Chain A
Amino acid sequence: MNFRHAKTVLLGALAACLMVSLFAGRINGYWLNNFYDIGIGMIMAVSLNLINGYTGQFSLGHAGFMAVGAYTAAMITNQFGPLNFFAANGIFAGALFAGGLAAAGAGLLVGIPTLRLRGDYLAIVTLGFGEIIRVILQNMNAVGGARGLSVMHGWTNFFWTFGLAAVTIYVVASLVNSTYGRGFIAVQDDEVAAEAIGINTTKYKVTAFVVGAFFAGIAGGLYAHSKQFLTPGGFGFLQSITFVVMVILGGMGNTIGVILAAVLLTLLPEGLRLLADLEHLPGLAAKHPLGWIGGTRMIIYSLLLIVLMLTRPQGLFSFKKGRSG
């Protein structure tokens, strides 16, 4: 891939997001909400891909970082009453950034002690970390505890969601497609050999965790201001698994594949719901011929995942023999 014009592409993408955002009023609320979920899923999956796919660390706590960002950003914006357009977007940008920083701090906290661990052991520790975050939030009255936290402002819009998704993709892709960033892949391939060619594997692993967590925190802020209601349970272990599935399904260390997987996995449950709601199918007399999908939606979803994994174990969207950086 040619990354010579990466910056131009990024600016183009941002401009496109701004344009769409101006006309977002014409998109119906249901679809707009789906779009936000897709954008947030992309940010989560692409940032997790830096940790799991490129650097070869196995993190099961990505939803934990998301929670840190979501609650931080929400607590900040909740301090403000109704604001005009510019003030609102300014405050929102600041809150998202603060959420990202808080999550990055958490990433540093997890990254450093887990450096001696790899594979399954690291997965268990990160899993534990995610659960700790959830339990802490559940018991913190200041953020509503188990009752949840209402977020006053629904400031998430098309521009912020997809603009920040574009920034995430740009940062991760630029990192791994540079001489500096080839170190991430080297760490994944062989840590001993990476040290032997002068790569500070500790620094690379912590960097991956911090950068990945930062963007997860931003995604959390977007999530908070699109749903406008946060519960600690929404950031549990299952949520982390969903993001891991996106990375695996897209093909570890394949940014485009992971983006497509995020789109697919977000839309699949909604798509099945639409099928179940169909009143007629051409050639069939019965009403709601696919109504049975309604109750078995999540079973079908799981079966599809199993079939996909069996038929495309290298990743749904992975076609290359080797990786070129």
Chain B
Amino acid sequence: MSAPLLQLENVSIRFGGLTAVSDLDFQIGLGELVGLIGPNGAGKTTAFNLITGVYQPTGGNILFDGKSIVGRRPYRITAGGIARTFQNIRLFPSLTVFDNVRAVFHLHLRGDVRHALWRGQGYHAEEAAIAGRALELLELFHLEHCRDEPAKSLPYGDQRRLEIVRALATQPKLLLLDEPAAGMNATEKAELARLIRFIRDKFQIAILLVEHDMPLVMQICERIAVLDYGIKIAEGTPPEIRGNAKVIAAYLGDDAMAAPRASAAD
């Protein structure tokens, strides 16, 4: 088996006396679609922030592409191939939809600031190429019609999609989606499920999905890890997770398991 794309080895983080994530072992392979679930406060978003460098682990190691990324600044982790979206959408509100995507391409610029100041042939050619690629991405996700609107004026669902487009423009190998279905209705969720699969197939990248919405995760993920109080309590395929006693207990409380037994004894 080839080395996994992302590997968390005994990763822990403590905030004062609270251990938010404890000894987390977890892997994502190339092109895999993995779900990370757990009740409120289980440490899902914390795990996310550890991977993206927002928090530094107090123990353990995180490897991406075989190299440790612990201690790297978030922008360097993004440049290395991990892109993310946020639980509460974080676009650049005053920039237009088009510029939100174009801003990302500075990652792939050949020229530096002197290029921008001199404005020679090479500069204009590169800017044109960037505009073309940004537009291509917007078209792929049906956002080209509002390219000149400020991002803040977009409806909620479009903002979510734009955030995903912006993340994809960094040309990641791994895309982290933090509760993309939050605040969506059933139709929008179905659309989102289709979108996530489409992204994986079209861009051939691995996706880690942190989500509350169980049906969505069960429907699209190939493998699911479950966190509870910062500890991984289960990992497996959707059917395995659905039948896992620990997972049911975590989500519904121990009584849910105890109650049927009590009634059987009657």
Nearest-CB residue, chain B, relative to A6? B119
Asked if A180 and B115 make an inter-chain contact with CB atoms under 8 angstroms apart, the answer reads yes
Q: What is the bound-complex CA distance between A245 and B102, given in angstroms? A: 31
Q: Mark A292-325, 1 if CB is under 8 A from B, else 0.
A: 0000000000000000000000000000011111
Asked if A195 and B75 make an inter-chain contact with CB atoms under 8 angstroms apart, the answer reads yes
A183 with B103, Cβ < 8 A, contacts A174-B119, A196-B86 known: yes
Asked if A171 and B95 make an inter-chain contact with CB atoms under 8 angstroms apart, the answer reads no
Decide yes or no whether B190 CB sits under 8 A from chain A.
no
Interface size class of A (residues with CB under 8 A): 20 to 34
Decide yes or no whether B74 CB sits under 8 A from chain A.
yes
Asked if A186 and B92 make an inter-chain contact with CB atoms under 8 angstroms apart, the answer reads yes
Q: What is the bound-complex CA distance between A321 and B109, given in angstroms? A: 29
* Most-contacted residue by chain B among A175, A180, A325 (CB, 10 A): A180
Q: What is the bound-complex CA distance between A146 and B167, given in angstroms? A: 56
Asked if B94 and A200 make an inter-chain contact with CB atoms under 8 angstroms apart, the answer reads no
Decide yes or no whether B234 CB sits under 8 A from chain A.
no
Q: Mark B82-123, 1 if CB is under 8 A from A, else 0.
A: 011010001111111011001111110101110111010001
A180 with B109, Cβ < 8 A, contacts A3-B119, A189-B94, A193-B91 known: yes
Asked if A323 and B96 make an inter-chain contact with CB atoms under 8 angstroms apart, the answer reads yes
Chain B residues whose CB sits within 8 angstroms of the CB of A325 once the complex forms: 95-96, 99, 102-103
Decide yes or no whether A279 CB sits under 8 A from chain B.
no
Chain B residues whose CB sits within 8 angstroms of the CB of A192 once the complex forms: 54, 86, 90
Asked if B75 and A200 make an inter-chain contact with CB atoms under 8 angstroms apart, the answer reads yes
Chain B residues whose CB sits within 8 angstroms of the CB of A179 once the complex forms: 102-103, 105-106, 109, 116, 126-127, 130
Chain A residues whose CB sits within 8 angstroms of the CB of B188 once the complex forms: none
Q: Which of A7, A174, A182 contacts B99 (CB 8 A)?
A: A182
Q: Which of A197, A207, A323 contacts B167 (CB 8 A)?
A: A197
Chain B residues whose CB sits within 8 angstroms of the CB of A174 once the complex forms: 116-117, 119
Chain B residues whose CB sits within 8 angstroms of the CB of A198 once the complex forms: 75-76, 78-79, 104, 106-107, 170
Decide yes or no whether B124 CB sits under 8 A from chain A.
yes
Chain A residues whose CB sits within 8 angstroms of the CB of B79 once the complex forms: 198
Q: Which of B75, B91, B106 contacts A180 (CB 8 A)?
A: B106
Interface residues of A in 176-211 (CB under 8 A from B): 178-183, 185-186, 188-190, 192-201, 207
Decide yes or no whether A4 CB sits under 8 A from chain B.
yes
A178 with B95, Cβ < 8 A, contacts A7-B119, A196-B86, A197-B103 known: no
Asked if B93 and A189 make an inter-chain contact with CB atoms under 8 angstroms apart, the answer reads yes
A324 with B75, Cβ < 8 A, contacts A4-B124, A193-B91 known: no
Chain B residues whose CB sits within 8 angstroms of the CB of A189 once the complex forms: 91-95
* Most-contacted residue by chain A among B75, B83, B113, B124 (CB, 10 A): B75
Q: Which of A175, A182, A196 contacts B78 (CB 8 A)?
A: A196
Asked if B75 and A186 make an inter-chain contact with CB atoms under 8 angstroms apart, the answer reads no
Q: What is the bound-complex CA distance between A105 and B67, given in angstroms? A: 37
A190 with B92, Cβ < 8 A, contacts A4-B124, A198-B78, A322-B150 known: yes
Decide yes or no whether B197 CB sits under 8 A from chain A.
no
Q: What is the bound-complex CA distance between A293 and B28, given in angstroms? A: 75
Asked if A199 and B106 make an inter-chain contact with CB atoms under 8 angstroms apart, the answer reads yes
Residues in A lying within 8 Å of B, measured CB to CB: 3-4, 6-7, 171, 174-175, 178-183, 185-186, 188-190, 192-201, 207, 321-325
26 contacts between A and B (CB under 8 A): A180-B116, A182-B99, A182-B102, A182-B106, A183-B106, A185-B95, A186-B103, A189-B94, A189-B95, A190-B90, A190-B92, A190-B93, A192-B54, A195-B75, A196-B75, A196-B83, A197-B169, A198-B76, A321-B150, A322-B95, A322-B96, A322-B153, A323-B94, A325-B96, A325-B99, A325-B103
